[in-house]
A and B are shown apart, each in its own frame.
Chain A
Amino acid sequence: MAALGSPARTLRGLLRELRYMNAATGRPYRDTAAYRYLVKAFRAHRVTSEKLCRAQHELHFQAATYLCLLRSIREHVALHQEFHGKGERSVEESAGLVGLKLPHQPGGKGWEP
């Protein structure tokens, strides 16, 4: 079967992701609907007297999938910011790369408004 690890670990990871998400907006993460729902779901399905409970496994799997989703979105955005988010250089900067400076035309270029 899939190597999911323990539910406690998944829950910790999920709470950590929620914390990161809400740290930027400044609101405490315990107020979010997602936090309340997750905690309620984990608590409700923790206790089962069956040794191999399919429902429990399914819910844990869904939680692990959601954790993967949050984590990979966060990393993707971070990678994007770092490597692809800077935009193009302006004409002045590009000229400066090779040591040139743009000419200064007092009247402006012909086609500029």
Chain B
Amino acid sequence: MWRSCLRLWDEGRRLLNRPRGGLIASVGPGPNPRLQARAYAPLTGPGTEGAWNPGSLASRPLSLQVSWPSLLLPYHLGGGLREERKRFYQNVSITQGEGGFEINLDHRKLKTPQAKLFTVPSEALAIAVATEWDSQQDTIKFYTMHLTTLCNTSLDNPTQRNKDQLIRAAVKFLDTDTICYRVEEPETLVELQKNEWDPVIEWAEKRPFPFRYGVEIGSSTSIMGPSIPARTQEVLISHLASYNMWALQGIEFVVTQLKSMVLTLGLIDLRLTVEQAVLLSRLEEEYQIQKWGNIEWAHDYELQELRARTAAGALFVHLCSESTTVKHKLLRE
């Protein structure tokens, strides 16, 4: 519990004053993109990233235009990554170009961090992104614009991964899937895990398509985790291969947020709502919260952020992998 409290305690600000000690002793694992003095650190104000985001590929939006000495000044004297862009546009509108739909801020076209033109294939997605930009007041908070960052990642592909690598990265999560890891005690938690997670695993194993031949995803209490048979992985890989590149980025994003491949499949197949999936992913935390109490500025904060990211990812996958045709008189397919 202390770790999660520390994780959210004034994350960026203190770190910037003490870069050396703060970086190691800091909050949460993983690289902190703000402190890497490269050109692509996110342009966010200090302390805005909230809880550590392992899917940080999608949330490193824009290039940094801060002079190097200002990184060394203490925060209250205007140092660190203080630059926050003000909202510089009045209207956001959508136009249709040849590659897809584009977003216009006033009269300027929106571009990705690598200066490519920002085009999306789906109108609904374009409207959602435009709404995100429109909802910014005074300063632009990039950490709230999840759909925009997902689109940027898909368009730019900053890590240069092709489809196979993406699929493999996502399938690797199955080995350490949250749902498959069970505890042995306390008893009530074991019961809870059994009642909540087992139905989802059963559904995943018996899904009519594509797991037609019955796949096995066991659950285990050992530290090594479940042993997933190779056939399951193959079936999963071939299933994921049927999605296009954009949808795969979204899927990988959701998997890294929820830490579970099975839950992501449930989301994509409309079996679970976002709230349910997030609840199942955080089952042990919810159990502890019920036992020991809820800390608003830590638990709720993390919960809302996880929900936001997961919802953005799920929506992104659905909008990128659908094709709507309205046929008047029944039949959609």
Residues of B with C-beta under 8 A to A75: 300, 304
Chain A interface: which of B35-43, B58-66, B129-137, B182-190?
Answer: B129-137
Asked whether, in the complex, the Cβ of B319 is within 8 Å of the Cβ of A69, the reply is no
Asked whether, in the complex, the Cβ of A84 is within 8 Å of the Cβ of B270, the reply is no
Q: Given A77-B141, A87-B75, A65–B271 Cβ distance below 8 Å?
A: no
Whole-angstrom distance between the Cβ of A70 and the nearest chain B Cβ:
8
Q: Given A2-B271, A4-B273, A79–B307 Cβ distance below 8 Å?
A: no
Q: Most B CB atoms within 10 A — which of A53, A72, A88? A: A72
- Which B residue sits closest to A45, measured CB to CB? B326
Q: Given A65-B311, A84-B10, A90–B76 Cβ distance below 8 Å?
A: yes
Within A56-82, the residues touching B (CB, 8 Å) are: 57-58, 61-62, 64-66, 68-69, 72-73, 75-77, 79-80, 82
Residues of A with C-beta under 8 A to B272: 2
Whole-angstrom distance between the Cβ of B102 and the nearest chain A Cβ:
13
Residues of B with C-beta under 8 A to A3: 273, 276
- Which A residue sits closest to B329, measured CB to CB? A49
Asked whether, in the complex, the Cβ of A88 is within 8 Å of the Cβ of B275, the reply is no
Within A1-37, the residues touching B (CB, 8 Å) are: 1-4, 18, 21-22, 24-25, 32-34, 37
Mark each residue of chain B from 282 to 304: 1 if its CB lies under 8 Å from any CB of chain A, else 0.
00000000000000110011001
Asked whether, in the complex, the Cβ of B76 is within 8 Å of the Cβ of A2, the reply is no
Q: For the complex, what is the distance from the CA of A87 to the CA of B14, rounded to whole Å?
A: 10
- Which B residue sits closest to A66, measured CB to CB? B315
Asked whether, in the complex, the Cβ of B311 is within 8 Å of the Cβ of A33, the reply is no
Contact of A62 among B50, B130, B315 (CB under 8 A): B315
Asked whether, in the complex, the Cβ of A33 is within 8 Å of the Cβ of B131, the reply is yes
A-B contact pairs, 9 of them (CB 8 A): A33-B130, A44-B326, A58-B322, A68-B307, A69-B308, A73-B146, A84-B297, A87-B13, A88-B14
Q: Given A55-B332, A83-B296, A34–B128 Cβ distance below 8 Å?
A: yes
Asked whether, in the complex, the Cβ of A33 is within 8 Å of the Cβ of B127, the reply is yes
Q: For the complex, what is the distance from the CA of A89 to the CA of B300, rounded to whole Å?
A: 24
Q: Known A-B contacts: A25-B137, A61-B318. Give 18 more (CB < 8 A).
A: A2-B270, A21-B134, A21-B135, A22-B135, A25-B134, A37-B123, A41-B124, A48-B330, A53-B332, A62-B315, A65-B318, A69-B307, A69-B311, A73-B146, A75-B300, A84-B47, A84-B297, A88-B13
Residues of B with C-beta under 8 A to A91: 76
Within B132-177, the residues touching A (CB, 8 Å) are: 134-135, 137, 141, 144, 146-147
Q: For the complex, what is the distance from the CA of A82 to the CA of B304, rounded to whole Å?
A: 14
* Interface SS of B by simple majority: helix
Q: Given A33-B94, A80-B48, A88-B75, A66–B301 Cβ distance below 8 Å?
A: no
Whole-angstrom distance between the Cβ of A62 and the nearest chain B Cβ:
5
Contact of A50 among B124, B275, B330 (CB under 8 A): B330
State the interface size on chain B (CB cutoff 8 A).
51
Asked whether, in the complex, the Cβ of B10 is within 8 Å of the Cβ of A66, the reply is no
Mark each residue of chain B from 208 to 230: 1 if its CB lies under 8 Å from any CB of chain A, else 0.
00000000000000000000000
Residues of A with C-beta under 8 A to B131: 18, 21, 32-34
- Which B residue sits closest to A82, measured CB to CB? B297
- Asked whether any CB of chain B lies closer than 8 Å to the CB of A104, the reply is no
- Asked whether any CB of chain A lies closer than 8 Å to the CB of B262, the reply is no
Asked whether, in the complex, the Cβ of B127 is within 8 Å of the Cβ of A34, the reply is yes
CB-based closest 5 A-B pairs: A69-B311, A83-B297, A72-B307, A76-B304, A72-B308
Asked whether, in the complex, the Cβ of B124 is within 8 Å of the Cβ of A37, the reply is yes
- Which A residue sits closest to B276, measured CB to CB? A2
Q: For the complex, what is the distance from the CA of A69 to the CA of B312, rounded to whole Å?
A: 6
- Asked whether any CB of chain A lies closer than 8 Å to the CB of B83, the reply is no
Q: For the complex, what is the distance from the CA of A26 to the CA of B271, rounded to whole Å?
A: 38
- Which B residue sits closest to A38, measured CB to CB? B127
- Asked whether any CB of chain B lies closer than 8 Å to the CB of A54, the reply is yes
Residues of A with C-beta under 8 A to B147: 69
Q: For the complex, what is the distance from the CA of A1 to the CA of B135, rounded to whole Å?
A: 33
